[in-house]
Amino acid sequence: MSLPPSPRLPKPLPQVPGPKLVPFTRTAHAVIQFVKELGSPGQDGRVWEVTIKGKPYALKMFMFCPTDYLRDDLAGHLVRDLSSPRFYTDYFDPFSCECRAYGRLKEENREHLAVRSHGYLLLTPAQELEITRSIAGSEPSRSNIWDRSEEHQHLPIQAIVKDLAESQEPFTAKQVPDMWADLKELHELGILVRDIRIFNYLGGKLIDFSRSWSTPHPGYAALYWADEGEERSGDAHGLNKAVIEWGIGNHWDWDEVVIPDEMVNCASGRGPNQYGVDPRLYNWLKWEKNPVAASAFLEEHVLEKPVDNGEYLRTWGV
Ligand SMILES: Nc1ncnc2c1ncn2[C@@H]1O[C@H](COP(=O)(O)OP(=O)(O)OP(=O)(O)O)[C@@H](O)[C@H]1O
Ligand SMILES: [Mg+2]
């Protein structure tokens, strides 16, 4: 007698070589009690305090992103296209970006570098209805809260379970040197955050990786050469700016604040080591079961084959 086929269990995501986030439970479903919304509605989703199996968490539920938006906005500055719409979702969708960054922190055992994530969940239709009704109750004028379009009709809302940050404060003056140390370590681990701002920190820890590039990422090979410096300096520049803005707004005594010289130098690209550690140098292949196939996949399949239009030749200085 043959056994009934086992239901297909959700896999770590995204399903491309490189880091991935595992489901929070075996089925990626859980009984969730929605408590209250945290912060104000963000660009990428809604974050709610929830209780799962009696424990409090922050649950970030992501909006759906059409491929056009990913290609023309989030990857709009790139000079080469990806070979398939699927790869825009795998590498540029905010949910995938967070999965890849958190997956890397987990595999490297460096989860303390950000507010910790515990895995992803897929909302059931009943949970989607419940949360949508709660939100619509307070925002009756909003329709299509999750930006679902034709291409997402049958897909569940994707969500990431994170620790509930204890602090409501983005950061204090004392935390600045540690925030820079964490950011440098993220770069060493191949994670370029690309969205360092005041309100992407809570209690001095990053809470948001929705624009991050975790090595290997096709964005690097598709950058116009003149944009490379901006990408590489962006994190240090963002932190420098966030510290100054938050410090001014909160009347910090600047004599008491340690602003790392290295951060200021990396923000301008003028330091002894220019932009600091290069995230592209991270050895991601050490985690791959088949490193040859993984690196060939990235090099040969993800980017559209270049057309000989001069732009490509200039980009690569050929
Ligand atoms: N782990 C957490 N614990 C407590 N509050 C959180 C947590 N994560 C997010 N929040 C709250 O939710 C808000 C939005 O979170 P997040 O930045 O991850 O979403 P987003 O959609 O990327 O928003 P934005 O576009 O404003 O950056 C945060 O500013 C914060 O107030
Ligand atoms: Mg954010």
Smallest CA-to-CA distance from 114 within 198, 206, 235 is with 206
How does pLDDT run across 159-201, given as a tens digit for each residue?
999 999 999 999 999 999 999 999 999 999 999 999 999 999 9
Is the shortest distance between the CB of 243 and ligand 1 below 6 Å? no
- pLDDT computed for residue 81 by the predictor: 93
State whether CATH 3.40.50 applies to domain 33-315.
no
How does pLDDT run across 191-236, given as a tens digit for each residue?
999 999 999 999 999 999 999 999 999 999 989 888 989 999 999 9
Ligand 1 center from residue 135 Cα (angstroms) = 16
State yes or no: pLDDT of 3 exceeds 60. Answer: no
Helix (H, G, I), strand (E, B) or coil at 157: coil
- pLDDT computed for residue 270 by the predictor: 85
Is the shortest distance between the CB of 103 and ligand 1 below 6 Å? no
Residue 68: how many CB atoms within 10 A of its CB? 12
Residue with tokens 């600047």: 254
Query: Which pTM value belongs to this model?
Result: 0.93
Residue 305: how many CB atoms within 10 A of its CB? 9
Is the shortest distance between the CB of 164 and ligand 1 below 6 Å? yes
Sequence-distant (≥ 6) Cβ neighbours of residue 113 within 8 angstroms? 105, 182, 185, 186, 189, 205, 206
Is the shortest distance between the CB of 44 and ligand 1 below 6 Å? yes
Is the shortest distance between the CB of 43 and ligand 1 below 6 Å? yes
Show me where the domains of the chain are located. Answer: 33-315
Q: Whose CA is nearest to atom 30 of ligand 1?
A: 39
Give, for ligand 1, the residue of 111, 208, 212 to mutate: max count of ligand atoms closer than 8 Å to Cβ: 208
- pLDDT computed for residue 95 by the predictor: 98
